[in-house]
């Protein structure tokens, strides 16, 4: 049986992890999908010792992967928006299916990318763009397909959740915990996307599009971060029986879809309140399943 030929663009933490998983679990994956999955081409600016690329063609030009006639699927893991958009559109024009974990790319250019994919008869898969290993997009699009979704709410940025958890449990200031998050690799050197809610807004945009069947509308999301939250805010919330969580919320109001990301007072007895550290969680309310 012929294998599915995969090309990977980007060999950072996510890219190298993808290589390792596809190689380590090759037998299980082949059994589940019905054909072997073979990585035959990787495009990356530099090697990564965290994964074994022996026997795989390596290119410093990532666009060489997008135009490789032997590749069936391009996995885009370079991050960013502009170059990633050009890379994905190039691959689509060359008849490649796309897999991406790039939430910013999908949220801001997804409408264009999906149209190009439709025009060229290929698919775009982006499950990993929201909530990491939680199969939330497939659940919304397939498992709950018969439901009208009334609302969804989630902790969809692990860095922000780690900071708020440490502020509450350790009585520590925002800046102190942010510094630790950067040292641990949870937050980037420039943490703006995480702490100002932009990352969560990208993910909410994608969730809402699938949940409510609306175009991707990142510019319409009300976005507020956690950088102004103080120890006093956290203590006051706890005094009244709440925890502060940074939530993405999408709601069908009957007059339109409400999209918002902001710090939220969550009662301590609720499930979302108990999700701590870098963990993510999404709650969905459907008319059939509740």
CATH number for the domain formed by residue range(s) 147-286: 3.30.360.10
Q: What is the pLDDT, as a whole number, of residue 48? A: 93
Tell me, what's the pLDDT at 133? 85
- For residue 157, what pLDDT is reported? 96
Residue ranges of the chain assigned to CATH 3.30.360.10: 147-286
- Tokens describing residue 127: 């499950």
Q: Looking at the chain, which residues constitute the CATH 3.40.50.720 domain(s)?
A: 4-129
CATH (one of 3.30.750.24, 1.10.287.70, 2.70.98.30, 3.40.50.720) for 4-129: 3.40.50.720
Position 1 scores a pLDDT of: 74
Q: Residue ranges of the chain with pLDDT lower than 50? A: none
- The residues carrying an active-site annotation are 203
> If DSSP states are collapsed to H, E and C, what string results for the chain?
CCCEEEEEECCCHHHHHHHHHHHHCHHHHHHHHCCCEEEEEEECCCCCCCCCCCCCEEECCCHHHHCCCCCCEEEECCCCCHHHHHHHHHHHHCCCEEEECCHHHHHHHHHHHHHHHHHHCCCEECHHHCCCCCCHHHHHHHHCCCCCEEEEEEECCHHHHHHHHHHHHHCCCHHHHHHHHHHHCCCCCCCHHHHCCHHHHHHHHHHHHHHHCCCCCHHHCEECCCCCCCHHHHHHHHHCCEEEEEEEEEEECCCCEEEEEEEEEEECCCCHHHCCCCCCEEEEEECCCC
pLDDT on residue 132: 83
Tokens of 27: 């037998």
Yes or no: say if 43 and 68 are a contact pair by the CB < 8 Å rule: no
């Amino acid at each position: 049986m012929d294998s599915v030929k995969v090309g990977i663009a980007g060999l950072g933490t996510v890219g190298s992890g993808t290589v390792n998983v596809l190689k380590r679990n090759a037998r299980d994956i082949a059994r589940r999908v019905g054909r072997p999955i073979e990585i035959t081409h990787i495009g990356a600016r530099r090697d990564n010792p965290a994964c074994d690329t022996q026997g795989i063609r390596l290119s410093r030009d990532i666009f060489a992967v997008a135009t490789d006639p032997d590749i069936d699927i391009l996995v885009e893991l370079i991050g960013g928006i502009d170059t990633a958009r050009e890379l994905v559109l190039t691959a689509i024009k060359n008849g490649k299916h796309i897999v991406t974990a790039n939430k910013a790319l999908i949220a801001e250019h997804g409408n264009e990318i999906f149209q190009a994919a439709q025009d060229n008869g290929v698919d775009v898969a982006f499950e990993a763009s929201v909530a990491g290993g939680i199969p939330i997009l497939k659940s919304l699009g397939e498992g709950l397909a018969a439901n009208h979704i009334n609302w969804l709410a989630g902790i969809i940025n692990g860095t922000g959740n780690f900071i708020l958890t440490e502020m509450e449990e350790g009585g520590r200031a925002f800046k102190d915990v942010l510094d630790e998050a950067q040292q641990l690799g949870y937050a980037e050197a420039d943490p703006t996307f995480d702490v100002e809610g932009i990352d969560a807004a990208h993910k909410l945009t994608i969730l809402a599009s699938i949940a409510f069947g609306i175009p991707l509308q990142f510019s319409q999301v009300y976005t507020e971060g956690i950088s102004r939250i103080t120890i006093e805010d956290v203590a006051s919330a706890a005094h009244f029986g709440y925890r502060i969580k940074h939530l993405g919320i999408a709601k069908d109001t009957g007059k339109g879809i409400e999209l918002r990301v902001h710090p939220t007072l969550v009662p301590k007895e609720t499930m979302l309140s108990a999700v701590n550290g870098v963990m993510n969680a999404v709650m969905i309310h459907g008319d059939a399943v509740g």
